């Protein structure tokens, strides 16, 4: 492979692998954005905002909060005070607290999971979380989040095979009320919610044809690496027949959803999601995500969705929450493409991960092995499948190595001042010898999508969360084997031992690969620079990803070592010499050679003269 070809392919590799990291905002940009949003974020969390006039609530989806003093003597006046003692709705997977104030879910604990600091995993809690209807009544702006509901019963614990429901009622007057009906099955991450209104057509402002459902929450850190958790957290939604979309992962963003009904939206963290599914869809909506100034906060979220209010005596809005892990097989059972929140990469990486890597991974899980062993076996299986490509790549590089003395001889005769003639003479040699100069690179490029697919697969694989192997306490995040105590650009405040081993293995592989290909000069040293660059990129990526790359390097090295035992350079040289003796009509011309010849011919026509040829080792 000549220097220009190698350099071009190398640049393609750098662009594909490095673009994800290089496109990220700098630490200074992130700090500047956080500082700019500090005041707004704190205001959203702590301060109530005024609602628009009652007769304008219907005109747009807004994100207001109501001043409770507006309600004391107005509509729902009797509900302006009450008990704040929460009720508990519990099953085998969830422990939910429902606050009489607002009748809302005030806290959700996922049983069987812990945060990185070994504390109970609370999806959300605290005063920074709001949920309720917003509408106008009697010339005032009402937010049910600030009013007190009356429960239909006490706390409930649901057995595995059972189900139960709890009604929270907000009473306006006799025969006029709003119910939040919660239902829970014994073995489910889902919580049913039906909002039912009775007699409210005479209470809600006559101009309103919609009620606004407002949900705001602040999600706290659950994983070891806060920047990584923020990088994979955002608001997702499905609108109409469109594919699942999401707000910015790196910046604060507000989005107006006004085209097509919204089937569901979610406040997604790296490994867990809070999803609200509307059985009949929301008419319109406004979603917002904000970076947080707090050191232990991932992001704050806000959603304002329009519910159609037909002004009947009884109106029902059936919905369902999902509070649970971002595990593909669990999300798929929810329907509505909710599993597409998990980023498995863009095409074709998505299909490789979804239909090849993940099924194999799940199959290996069935044996009950540790995840370190599963990754090892997965790597062995993939490298075995790719063995024919590895063999073809090695054989092509061996042929180019054998041809190198003849190529050096041609270069010595032609010189460096006529690259067109030099390439033409190389092509003649390739044609005579029956060698494809890209034969060693094409198999490697065909393997590149699989290498890139794992770059998305491991960081988003819920199954690795909290799973340990050797010194790696959690395969879903970096192993801080060496803690520096200070931050280093591109590395952070730690050095990952598995990343070091991955880098060393890559350098070893590069050394032996250069021996096979006969690389010299610029091509030789570029191969050593690349692993150093990747070390800076992958040092803060999951140790499971670095472990896979380490294994892949070592297995590839072992494969090439074995292949080398069966490939003899003298036999390759003899075969090349035999090919040279064959008539040109018997030699099959590769697509690359044909394109290069066409290119040379076009160059000749452009210049308006023939390219000189060699005669007796001299230019004509």
Residue at token pair 């500082």: 35
pLDDT (tens digit per residue) in 9-51: 555 555 555 554 444 555 555 445 444 444 444 344 334 333 3
- Asked if residue 324 and residue 359 are part of one domain, the reply reads no
Q: How confident is the model at residue 61 (pLDDT cuts 50, 70, 90)?
A: very low
- Note whether residue 16 is domain-resident: no
pLDDT (tens digit per residue) in 142-168: 999 999 999 998 888 888 778 889 999
More confident residue, 581 or 192: 192
Q: How confident is the model at residue 128 (pLDDT cuts 50, 70, 90)?
A: confident
Average pLDDT over residues 615-620: 45
Side by side, which strands form the sheet with 94-99? 120-124, 104-114, 94-99, 87-90, 156-157
CA-nearest of 398, 434, 431, 427 to 410 is 427
CA-nearest of 490, 443, 493, 475 to 551 is 475
Q: How far apart are CA 323 and CA 266, in angstroms?
A: 10
CA-nearest of 523, 509, 556 to 400 is 523
- Note whether residue 615 is domain-resident: no
Enclosing H/E stretch for 178: strand 176-185
What would the two tokens of residue 292 be?
């947080």
Residue at token pair 């974020």: 41
Domain finish residue from 309, 342, 375 = 342
Residue at token pair 């005769």: 413
* The predicted structure's pLDDT at residue 65: 44
What would the two tokens of residue 578 be?
């035999």
More confident residue, 208 or 567: 208
Q: How far apart are CA 94 and CA 92, in angstroms?
A: 6
Q: How far apart are CA 246 and CA 213, in angstroms?
A: 20
* Residue burial 514-528, b: 16+ Cβ < 10 Å; e: rest: bebbbbeeebeebbe
- Note whether residue 22 is domain-resident: no
- Asked if residue 316 and residue 376 are part of one domain, the reply reads no
Whether pLDDT at 118 is above 50: yes
- Note whether residue 472 is domain-resident: yes
Q: Which domain holds residue 398?
A: 353-574
- Note whether residue 604 is domain-resident: no
* The predicted structure's pLDDT at residue 52: 38
- 122 touches 97 (CB < 8 A): no
User: Domain tally for the chain?
Assistant: 2
Mean pLDDT of the chain: 81
pLDDT (tens digit per residue) in 471-507: 999 999 999 999 888 888 878 889 999 999 999 998 8
What would the two tokens of residue 331 be?
């999300």
- Asked if residue 430 and residue 281 are part of one domain, the reply reads no
What would the two tokens of residue 446 be?
């065909």
Enclosing H/E stretch for 21: helix 3-22
- Asked if residue 376 and residue 301 are part of one domain, the reply reads no
- Asked if residue 300 and residue 255 are part of one domain, the reply reads yes
- Asked if residue 357 and residue 322 are part of one domain, the reply reads no
Q: How far apart are CA 270 and CA 466, in angstroms?
A: 13
Angstrom distances, CA of residue 161 to CA of 112, 181, 563: 19, 20, 58
- Note whether residue 136 is domain-resident: yes
Q: How confident is the model at residue 80 (pLDDT cuts 50, 70, 90)?
A: confident
- Asked if residue 263 and residue 402 are part of one domain, the reply reads no
Q: How far apart are CA 348 and CA 404, in angstroms?
A: 36
* The predicted structure's pLDDT at residue 584: 56
3-state secondary structure 311-369: CCCEEEEEEEEEEEECCHHHHHHHCCCHHHHCCCCCCCHHHHHHHHHHHHHHHHHCCCC
* The predicted structure's pLDDT at residue 50: 39
Measure the CA dihedral 18/541/463/88, to 10°: -120
Long-range CB pairs of 430-435 (<8 Å, 24+ gap) are 430/403, 430/593, 431/584, 431/587, 431/589, 431/593, 432/579, 432/580, 432/587, 433/399, 433/403, 433/576, 433/579, 433/580, 434/576, 434/579, 434/582, 434/587, 434/588, 435/396, 435/399, 435/400, 435/403, 435/576
- Asked if residue 322 and residue 223 are part of one domain, the reply reads yes
pTM: 0.77
């Amino acid at each position: 492979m000549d220097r220009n070809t190698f350099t071009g392919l190398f640049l393609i590799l750098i662009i594909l692998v490095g673009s994800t990291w290089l496109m990220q905002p700098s630490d200074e940009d992130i700090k500047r954005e956080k500082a700019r949003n500090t005041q707004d974020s704190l205001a959203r969390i702590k301060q109530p905002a005024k609602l628009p006039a009652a007769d304008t609530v219907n005109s747009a989806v807004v994100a207001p909060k109501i001043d409770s003093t507006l309600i004391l003597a107005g509509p729902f006046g009797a509900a302006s005070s009450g008990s704040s003692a929460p009720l508990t709705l519990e099953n085998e997977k969830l422990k939910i607290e429902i606050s009489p104030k607002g009748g809302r879910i005030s806290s959700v604990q996922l049983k069987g999971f812990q945060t990185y600091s070994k504390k109970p995993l609370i999806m959300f809690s605290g005063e920074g979380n709001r949920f309720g209807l917003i509408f106008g009544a009697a010339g005032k702006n009402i937010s049910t989040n600030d009013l007190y509901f009356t429960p239909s019963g006490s706390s409930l614990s649901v057995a595995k095979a059972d189900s139960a429901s709890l009604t929270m009622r907000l009473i306006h007057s006799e025969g006029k009320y709003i119910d939040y009906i919660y239902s829970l099955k014994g073995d489910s991450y889902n919580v049913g919610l039906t909002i039912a209104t009775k007699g409210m057509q005479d209470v809600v402002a006559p101009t309103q044809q919609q009620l606004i459902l407002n949900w705001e929450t602040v999600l706290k850190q659950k994983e070891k690496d806060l920047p990584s958790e923020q990088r994979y957290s955002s608001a997702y939604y499905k609108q109409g027949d469109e594919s699942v979309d999401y707000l910015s992962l790196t910046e604060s963003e507000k989005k107006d959803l006004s085209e097509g009904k919204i089937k569901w939206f979610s406040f997604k963290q790296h490994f867990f999601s809070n999803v609200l599914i509307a059985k009949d869809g929301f008419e319109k909506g406004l979603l917002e995500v904000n970076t947080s100034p707090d050191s232990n906060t991932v992001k704050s979220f806000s959603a304002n969705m329009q519910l159609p209010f037909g002004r009947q005596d009884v109106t029902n809005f059936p919905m369902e929450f999902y509070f649970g892990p971002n595990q593909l097989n669990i999300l798929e059972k929810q329907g509505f493409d909710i599993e597409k929140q998990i980023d498995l990469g863009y095409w074709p990486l998505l299909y490789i991960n979804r239909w090849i890597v993940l099924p194999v991974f799940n199959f290996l899980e069935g044996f009950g092995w540790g995840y370190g062993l599963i990754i090892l076996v997965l790597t062995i299986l993939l490298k075995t499948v790719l063995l024919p490509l590895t063999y073809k790549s090695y054989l092509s590089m061996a042929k180019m190595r054998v041809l190198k003395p003849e190529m050096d001889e041609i270069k010595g005769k032609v010189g460096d001042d006529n690259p067109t003639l030099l390439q033409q003479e190389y092509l003649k040699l390739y044609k005579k010898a029956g060698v494809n100069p890209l034969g060693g690179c094409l198999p490697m490029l065909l393997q590149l999508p699989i290498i890139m697919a794992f770059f998305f697969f491991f960081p988003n694989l819920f199954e690795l969360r909290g799973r340990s192997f050797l010194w790696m306490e959690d395969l879903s995040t970096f192993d801080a084997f060496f803690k520096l105590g200070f931050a280093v650009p591109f590395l952070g405040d730690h050095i990952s031992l598995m990343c070091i081993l991955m880098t060393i293995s890559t350098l070893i592989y590069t050394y032996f690969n250069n021996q096979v290909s006969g690389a010299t000069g610029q091509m030789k040293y570029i191969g050593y620079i690349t692993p150093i660059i990747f070390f800076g990129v992958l040092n803060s990526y999951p140790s499971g990803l670095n472990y896979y790359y380490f294994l892949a390097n070592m297995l590839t090295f072992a494969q090439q070592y074995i292949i080398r035992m069966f490939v003899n350079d003298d036999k390759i040289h003899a075969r090349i010499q035999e090919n040279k003796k064959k008539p040109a009509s018997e030699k099959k011309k590769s697509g690359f050679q044909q394109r290069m010849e066409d290119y040379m011919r076009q160059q000749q026509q452009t210049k308006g003269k023939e390219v000189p040829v060699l005669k007796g080792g001299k230019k004509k």
